[in-house]
Structure 1
Amino acid sequence: MAMRMSGLMSGMDTETIIKELVSAKQTKVDDAKKAQTKLQWKQDAWKELNTKLKNLQAKYIANMRFTSSYSKRTTKVSNSNAVSVITGENAVKGVQSLQINKLAKTGYLTGAQIKAADGGSLTAASKLSELGVTGEGTFNITAGGKSVDITVNGDSTISDVLNKIKEAGVNASFDAKNQRFFVSASASGADNDFSITASDSTGDAALAALGLKVGLTGDKGDKATLAKYQEYAAFYVSGDDAATLANINKDGRITKDIESKVSSYLEQYKSLLSTKSDAQKKIDEINEKYKDSSLDTVENYTKQLEAKQKEKTELEEKIKNLTDGDEKDTAQKELDTLNEKIKTLSEKKADAQSLKSAQKSITDADTKIADIQKHITVTEGTDADGNATYTAEATQTLKDQVNNSYLSQAKYASDVVTSINNGTYTATGATKISGQNAKITLNGAEFTGTSNVFEINGLTFTALSETKAGEDITVTTEDDVDGIYDMVKNFLKEYNSIINEMDKLYNADSAKGYEPLTDDEKDSMSDSEVEKYETKIKDALLRRDSNLSTISSALKSIMSGGVDVNGKTMYLSDFGVETLGYFEAPDNEKNAYHIAGDPDDANTSGKSDVLKSMISNDPDTVIAFFSSLSKNLYTKMSDLSKSVDGYRSYGNFYDDKKMTSDYNDYKTKISELEEKLNDYEDKWYSKFSKMETALAKLQSNSSAVTSLLGGS
């Protein structure tokens, strides 16, 4: 606001005079602002109440109108240490008999403690030669239908072995502190168990050195590994490789293995072609960029950049010490030029590095492709749309490798079975828990699974321990009386809170004569006085509000009304749910409902609990009544919150659009009134200013005349 100085010549308090002159217009501005503030408070009050009404409808009423919401059941078991049960919505009521025959187990191998030949500790980087492994041997990991051959020699590291084991889909780690391998199946169950079998004597020696050779006989024998050895030993025909391979391939496993490897090699081949293509595009791009110049080596650019960076550092130091302006400007220009050269060299170095990397990518890809082509023969073509196509078949080299691998497994498996039969097979101290399926018997029917969790007819059983011989666990599923009761109780609690608040707002004391305070009025009062004054207004904002009355009356009417249940009209009172007597209920709580026998309600806790008794003895009637009551409430609340053009948005119980429009109208009106006020005020200041100017001239003329008269 501009500072005005007035009354200097006249001696009049023009500020006060003008303030009085414009007071009428100032009052109009203040009245409009007060009305706008009051409307904003009313909006806030409705927003808060609207949120509570919407929550009541969405959280309780919307769900309680469906009979499925009352399908709450609970299950008890006679031995909770053996099984836990989760009751689903579709669980069938009744008493069932359960036995836990077997628990699911996860295949888990704990390796024997191993030692380096020199007695030192081993790490993941240690080579197998430190364990005394010489020559090249192979062992096989089979898990979940996937089989991986692991070929090792003295130069292989413990880390190499771990990575290969993990390729089979099992978990594996090496504990350097305990100097042991740990291997486990990815999931529980017999189908997910794994086996580790040697394919030759050197592979067996490697397993022994790694502490992974397990016992195969007795109660603690590894069933999966033994079964694998026995299976392949049965395939073996001494001196007849063709017959052995034919036996192994009866189920097509060799054929499938070759096909799988061909597919894997082909994917690698296509990926490498893509890598080469991308690298060539990069090379062509760089060559095009430098077609009119030459690109040096990365090493030479590195040397040049080091020299330029040194030169830059020296120049920057020189500039710091210069005091002459012209010299400093010249040096700065030189530095700018140098920075451009460094930028250009850096870009060229980056391009040279990219070119070098792209060329290496092509060379490496060619090397890998050449190796792949030893295993597959690829035929390239194009489809009808001109896209490249690739087909592949196994080379004789690949077929020989796979066949020899299976022959080796079968031959060595035969040797292992022979050694088991004659008692010469030895393990290394590794222990193995075999993967096992869970098995339970429910009502005489047997169920098996790879985990200890069974979902049967709406119930989820989690087996925790095996039952003793002859022990039956009683499983009892029944209606969850407390669950249904609590749902109704929580709904009534929420409803009571809202209906009491609505009654309090509607019946609030009048705040006639109270209007929002201006800033000047607030300055003359303490904070507590302002808060008390404004609370008086806010509490009465919805007093006798017609919209509030409509909503409140509609809810009360439905809650007190009857509901048809199987041809009989029933009321909340039939379920022990009633309001208190008129003189018994506190003010603004006369429409709240109380449940007879509710231990949390001091007013009715001593009465007989009709609701809970009916839920236990006649749940169908309770469900039919409360679902119908909720449907009626939901329909009415949906009608009350329909969209009304220009007045109400969908889902709101008050005229939010109208209030927003009115609020914006007040903003416009206030702006116009303030503009008129300022113009009116400026007009009076202008008039008084002219008067002051005239008085100043009059005084100046009078002084001049006096001066002339005095001079004569």
Structure 2
Amino acid sequence: MAIRMSGMVSGLDTEAIIQSLMEVQTTRKTKVENNKTKLEWKQEKWQDLHNKIYKMYTGSLSNLRLESAFNTKKASSNNDSKVKVTADSKAVNGSNTLKINELATSQYVTSAQKEDLKASTTLESIGFRLPSTDEDGNPVEGDVITIKNGTGDDAKTVELKVTKDTKVSDFVNSLKEAGLTASFDEKQGRFFISSTNSGKENAFTITTNHSEDSSLQHLGLAEIDENAVDIEGGEGMAIITAKDSEIIFNGAKLTHSTNSVTVNGISLELQGKTTGDEVINIQVSNDITSTYDMVKDYIKEYNELLKEMNALYYAESARDYDILTSEEEEAMSDEDVEKWNDKIKGALLRRDSTLGRLLNAMKTTLHTSVEVDGKKYSLASFGISTSSDYTERGLLHLWGDEDDEYGSTQDDKLKAALEENPDVVGKALSQIFKNMYDSLTEKTKAIDGLKSAMKFYNDKQLTKELEGYTQDISDWEKKLSNMEERYYDQFTSMEVALSKLQNQSNSLSSFMPQ
């Protein structure tokens, strides 16, 4: 690094002079940095707003465009202790009868009690001896416990070859490997084994290749095959076989592997069996309250989003607000700094053309009319409209809604329409909301060089502009560094020239008479 002669001869404060010269140029770099900061804030604003619009677009609005969303049903029974009922849009209004003959159960096996049996106990230590021949006198390699979980093609089979070192824990691990729930309780001296799922298709078997003096007998168990029956064992082995649920629904016998059964759009959660001639009545009807609340909730979500979009688009200008310098921030309180920056951020999307098009798409499509069975309908047909207050800028009100200050004084047209003709309401409103959904879908299409697919704003353009600012700042840093170095070189050259001139003057003066 060159040695700088800072005013040693001239007596000038060259550091201060150069700093003053650089300030003008540095201000231009600062302006670029401020523009980048504002653009970063704008990007954050768009990302946040996009996420909110996208949530509504893919959530509630996507659902409301479907006619089935308005065909909500409710179901009730006269015996909730034995069956819980719900209904989907496919359920048919009317009465149904139900008898519950059997509940689905898993298979349970509890071994006979074996005292002093531990998880580490070997079968040989409790008296089991490997046989040398089978029942027909043929030589065998040893005892094999076969565990089969399930009855269909997906059944899993695990074989445990019993040796003199086979332990109780090995048997439990094999049961678990087959997909069963299994444990050994040392205090009780019993195995507790069950299928993971209910129903006959999930039944299991535990067998050996020796029916007499098998390893199972020494474990307090017997051969459990597909012909097993329920056994109440007391201190002996107990079995509860797997069962399917069996119901009589509107006279038809239906079986299922679980107690959750769906019939013709009606979901049944079976909880108890009916007895004798007992019949449960199930009633299905339109769920007007659910449909009404769905529309009401959407209007609330739409209004909250529209308020934010309007506030950003119609924001007051922040032209007189510049990014604060570090010195200015130090002279202000944290609260004042935050308010200052929020003022700038709040105006970044003011009169933004992309935001304007989104607002127009949302407002315009919701105020169009559709035709159902030869008759025109709009949101206003069902008591959904804007108020006369222009400052609301398109907020929706639901007539008859007690939570709506404007709409609460009006007749509840939506509820009346749902009670009178729910099919027309569903067809009309779903078409209107579909129009809005389709309009927003158009706004999510990719534009080469400007925006990505499924984005409501020009994300690519913002990224490209930010990259441009980053490059400009880098260029300015190099330019300022070179400029500062040039100034120092020039002042150094001046100091050298003055030094030479001074030396020459001193030399000449030495020849002058004193």
Query: Which amino acid in the other structure matches residue 41 of structure 2?
Result: W
1:30–1:518 CA contact under 8 A, matched in 2: no
- The equivalent residue for 1:178 is 188
- The equivalent residue for 1:697 is 500
- The equivalent residue for 1:298 is none
- The equivalent residue for 2:416 is 613
- The equivalent residue for 1:122 is 117
2:441 pairs with 638, 642, 657, which one? 638
What's the offset of the Cα at 1:443?
Answer: 1.0
Could you say if the C-alpha distance between residues 619 and 691 of structure 1 is closer, same or farther in structure 2, counting changes exceeding 3 Å? same
Cα deviation 1:112-156 (Å, max 9, x = unaligned): 3234xxxxx222444556656679588998976699999989997
- The equivalent residue for 2:340 is 533
- The equivalent residue for 1:561 is 368
What's the offset of the Cα at 1:527?
Answer: 3.8
- The equivalent residue for 1:438 is 245
- The equivalent residue for 1:60 is 60
1:547 pairs with 345, 350, 354, which one? 354
Aligned length: 497
Query: Which amino acid in the other structure matches residue 122 of structure 1?
Result: L
CA distance in 1, matches of 2:299, 2:505: 90
Could you say if the C-alpha distance between residues 3 and 618 of structure 1 is closer, same or farther in structure 2, counting changes exceeding 3 Å? farther
CA distance in 1, matches of 2:171, 2:451: 71
CA distance in 1, matches of 2:128, 2:33: 93
Normalising by structure 1, we get a TM-score of: 0.60
Q: Does 2:50 correspond to 1:40?
A: no
CA distance in 2, matches of 1:26, 1:166: 73
CA distance in 1, matches of 2:494, 2:27: 27
2:321–2:344 CA contact under 8 A, matched in 1: yes
Could you say if the C-alpha distance between residues 184 and 658 of structure 1 is closer, same or farther in structure 2, counting changes exceeding 3 Å? closer
- The equivalent residue for 2:261 is 454
What's the offset of the Cα at 1:104?
Answer: 2.6
1:556–1:591 CA contact under 8 A, matched in 2: yes
Cα deviation 1:415-440 (Å, max 9, x = unaligned): xxxxxxxxxxx997433334433221
- The equivalent residue for 1:203 is 213
What's the offset of the Cα at 1:82?
Answer: 0.8
Could you say if the C-alpha distance between residues 648 and 125 of structure 1 is closer, same or farther in structure 2, counting changes exceeding 3 Å? closer
What's the offset of the Cα at 1:175?
Answer: 2.5
What's the offset of the Cα at 1:592?
Answer: 0.9
1:500–1:591 CA contact under 8 A, matched in 2: no
Could you say if the C-alpha distance between residues 691 and 492 of structure 1 is closer, same or farther in structure 2, counting changes exceeding 3 Å? same
CA distance in 2, matches of 1:475, 1:576: 33
Could you say if the C-alpha distance between residues 608 and 432 of structure 1 is closer, same or farther in structure 2, counting changes exceeding 3 Å? same
Could you say if the C-alpha distance between residues 114 and 43 of structure 1 is closer, same or farther in structure 2, counting changes exceeding 3 Å? closer
Pairs within 5 Å for 1:337-416: none
1:135–1:202 CA contact under 8 A, matched in 2: no
Query: Which amino acid in the other structure matches residue 337 of structure 2?
Result: V
Query: Which amino acid in the other structure matches residue 553 of structure 1?
Result: N
- The equivalent residue for 1:78 is 78
1:193–1:224 CA contact under 8 A, matched in 2: no
Cα deviation 1:326-359 (Å, max 9, x = unaligned): xxxxxxxxxxxxxxxxxxxxxxxxxxxxxxxxxx
Q: Does 2:17 correspond to 1:17?
A: yes
CA distance in 1, matches of 2:164, 2:24: 104
CA distance in 2, matches of 1:693, 1:223: 109
Could you say if the C-alpha distance between residues 433 and 659 of structure 1 is closer, same or farther in structure 2, counting changes exceeding 3 Å? closer
Could you say if the C-alpha distance between residues 665 and 185 of structure 1 is closer, same or farther in structure 2, counting changes exceeding 3 Å? closer
- The equivalent residue for 1:653 is 456
- Aligned-CA RMSD value: 4.2
Normalising by structure 2, we get a TM-score of: 0.80
- The equivalent residue for 1:474 is 281
Range with greater deviation from structure 2 (188-197 or 619-628): 188-197
1:197–1:225 CA contact under 8 A, matched in 2: no
1:646–1:658 CA contact under 8 A, matched in 2: yes
Q: Does 2:321 correspond to 1:484?
A: no
2:366–2:433 CA contact under 8 A, matched in 1: no
Q: Does 2:397 correspond to 1:627?
A: no
Could you say if the C-alpha distance between residues 78 and 578 of structure 1 is closer, same or farther in structure 2, counting changes exceeding 3 Å? same
Pairs within 5 Å for 1:197-596: 202-203=212-213, 210-212=219-221, 224-225=227-228, 429-519=236-326, 521-523=328-330, 525-582=332-389, 587=391, 589-596=392-399
- Structure 1: state its 5+ residue gaps: 116-120, 215-221, 228-425
Could you say if the C-alpha distance between residues 670 and 99 of structure 1 is closer, same or farther in structure 2, counting changes exceeding 3 Å? same
Which secondary structure state, in structure 2, belongs to the residue aligned with residue 692 of structure 1? Answer: helix
Q: When you count helix as a share of all residues, which structure comes out higher?
A: 1
CA distance in 2, matches of 1:135, 1:20: 102
CA distance in 1, matches of 2:164, 2:362: 85
The percent identity for this pair of structures is 37
Cα deviation 1:587-645 (Å, max 9, x = unaligned): 4x342112223344344345443323322332112211221112211222233343333
What's the offset of the Cα at 1:96?
Answer: 0.8
Which secondary structure state, in structure 2, belongs to the residue aligned with residue 203 of structure 1? Answer: coil
Larger Rg: 1
Query: Which amino acid in the other structure matches residue 281 of structure 2?
Result: T
What's the offset of the Cα at 1:465?
Answer: 0.9
Query: Which amino acid in the other structure matches residue 481 of structure 1?
Result: I
Which secondary structure state, in structure 1, belongs to the residue aligned with residue 253 of structure 2? Answer: strand
CA distance in 2, matches of 1:684, 1:156: 91
